């Protein structure tokens, strides 16, 4: 089974910061990786799929990159509404999550 390891599990950042979250797969998964954002008490929201394709309606400050075993989600300029937990997903496997909090 494929394992997805996210790092860091927690990060503290300020509005306007550039933030990068990494997701590492235990074996190569081509570009079959998605990213989700989840706010407290809400369902996850799809941000990116196929590693780098932005879901319709998602702000362009979000971007994804990578292939094979290493992937990144980047928020170019963190906004107040971006403080949330982020998950990567490959098919039936989710990463453990990265919580982004206000510094």
Partner 1 sequence: QVQLQESGPGLVKPSQTLSLTCTVSGGSISSGGYYWSWIRQHPGKGLEWIGYIYYSGSTYYNPSLKSRVTISVDTSKNQFSLKLSSVTAADTAVYYCARAGLGTAALLVLDYWGQGTLVTVSS
Between residues 83 and 94, which has the closer beta carbon with respect to partner 1? 94
Q: Which of 2, 11, 13, 46 binds partner 1 (CB under 8 A)?
A: 46
Please, what sign has the CA dihedral across residues 102, 73, 75, 37?
A: negative
Instruction: Match 């879901």 to its residue by tokens.
Output: 55
81 touches partner 1 by CB under 8 A: no
Peptide bond into 8 cis (omega under 30): yes
57 touches partner 1 by CB under 8 A: no
98 touches partner 1 by CB under 8 A: no
Q: Which residues bind partner 1 (CB under 8 A)?
A: 31-32, 34, 36, 42-46, 49-50, 53, 55, 87, 89, 91-92, 94-97
């Amino acid at each position: 089974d494929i394992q997805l390891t996210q790092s860091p599990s927690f990060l503290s950042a300020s509005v306007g910061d550039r933030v990068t979250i990494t997701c590492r797969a235990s074996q190569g998964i081509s570009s079959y990786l998605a990213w989700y954002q989840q706010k407290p008490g809400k369902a996850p929201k799809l941000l990116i799929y196929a590693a780098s394709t932005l879901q319709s309606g998602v702000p362009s400050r979000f971007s994804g990159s990578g292939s094979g075993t290493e992937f990144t989600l980047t928020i170019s300029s963190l906004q107040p509404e971006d403080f949330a937990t982020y998950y990567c997903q490959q098919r039936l496997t989710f990463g453990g999550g990265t919580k982004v909090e206000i510094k």
